[in-house]
């Protein structure tokens, strides 16, 4: 590429740019749009877009007027908040921040399983009530069975750690196969049977048309009354009313949730006050330096873009998640 490309940075300003973006200035002409009003002008003749803190509606409203865009970098792993029909139907390459959040989210999931299994969560609730509960018994996580639904990088990172703790693991994916980390992966037809074998169920699904409300009443009914449900994927992969009913009725023992259908979680949601439910504000992957790490992926891809090399972390826009 003989001339420096133009890159629109949406959701940031030149006065308050994404941290660590300095090296990109040497590779491209950066144009900032801190709000929807400036998005159309920023992307009109841009060659690429870095969607830093932008709402999908900004890009969707302006996309038809962008005549040169060939690449869009998302600042997150999930891309459901970025994709829209015109983008999916285009030949624009979309990349994400895959690899930044896998290990932190896996550690959060392991911590949630340990907390639930050891009874630490119950102790915390009792502490807030000033109650000393003697004679309570607990289980060991070693020997328990984890079912990962969504065998991507986060699921794999969690599975590796779970096996190190002595847990057994299987997964549910789009096809039946065997994986060196996840072990047995069953296809969609085995979804409910796998849930019935689980002590812990990890939802690590991307949000697509096929996964929306995948965890419904039938799914929770398939689980054991002792099962623990975790969601680090996307909130809308769960029918929250069905989850609330399952916890209330004792169909499952509890849940640890980092994502929700509506965020922030509304103050009147029953999930706030359920003692067997842990509410986490979508921060399971947010390390202190996560912003700089995400910008690092963008800068690396920008170097590749300028050199006409394959981009890192490409997304299958029709499937709605990363590939490779």
The residues assigned a catalytic role are: 234, 263, 282
The first and second tokens of residue 212, run together, are 């929306």
Quote the DSSP letter at residue 92: -
Rounded Cα distance between 253 and 276, Å, is 7
CA-wise closest residue to 259 among 218, 221, 203, 321? 203
The first and second tokens of residue 35, run together, are 């709000």
Q: 149-180 burial, b if ≥16 CB within 10 A, otherwise e?
A: bbbbbbbbbbbebbeebebbbbbbbeeeeebe
CB 43 within 8 A of CB 11: no
Instruction: Tell the burial category of 203 from Cβ atoms under 10 Å away from its Cβ (0-12, 13-18, 19+).
Output: buried
**Which helix (H) or strand (E) segment is 64 a member of?**
none
CB 219 within 8 A of CB 205: no
CA-wise closest residue to 141 among 108, 112, 104? 112
Rounded Cα distance between 71 and 68, Å, is 9
Q: Which residue has the tokens 């144009």?
A: 31
């Amino acid at each position: 590429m003989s001339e420096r490309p133009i890159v629109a940075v949406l959701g940031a300003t030149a006065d308050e740019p994404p941290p660590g973006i300095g090296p990109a200035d040497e590779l491209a002409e950066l144009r900032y749009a801190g709000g929807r009003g400036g998005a159309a002008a920023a992307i009109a003749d841009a060659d690429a877009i870095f969607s830093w803190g932008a709402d999908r509606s900004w890009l969707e409203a302006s996309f038809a007027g962008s005549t040169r865009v060939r690449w869009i970098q998302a600042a997150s792993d999930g891309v459901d908040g970025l994709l829209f029909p015109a983008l999916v139907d285009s030949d624009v390459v979309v990349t994400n921040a895959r690899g930044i959040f896998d290990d932190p989210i896996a550690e959060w999931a392991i911590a949630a399983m340990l907390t639930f299994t050891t009874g630490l969560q119950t102790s915390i609730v009792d502490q807030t009530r000033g109650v000393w509960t003697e004679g309570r018994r607990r289980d060991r996580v070693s020997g328990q069975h984890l079912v990962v639904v969504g065998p991507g990088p986060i699921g794999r990172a969690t599975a590796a750690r779970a096996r190190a703790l002595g847990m057994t693991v299987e997964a549910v994916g789009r096809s039946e196969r065997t994986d060196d980390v996840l072990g047995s992966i069953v296809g969609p037809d085995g979804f409910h049977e796998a849930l019935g074998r689980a002590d812990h169920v990890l939802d690590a699904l991307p949000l697509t048309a096929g996964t929306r409300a995948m965890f419904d009443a039938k799914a929770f009914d398939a689980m054991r009354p002792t099962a623990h449900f975790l969601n680090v994927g996307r909130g809308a992969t769960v029918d929250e009313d069905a989850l609330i009913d399952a916890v209330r009725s004792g169909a499952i023992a509890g849940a640890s949730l980092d994502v929700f259908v509506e965020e922030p979680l509304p103050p009147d949601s029953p999930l706030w006050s359920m003692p067997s439910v842990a509410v986490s504000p979508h921060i399971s992957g947010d390390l202190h330096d996560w912003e700089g790490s995400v910008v690092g992926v963008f800068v690396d891809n920008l170097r590749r873009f300028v050199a006409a090399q394959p981009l890192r972390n490409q997304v299958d826009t029709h499937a709605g998640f990363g590939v490779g």
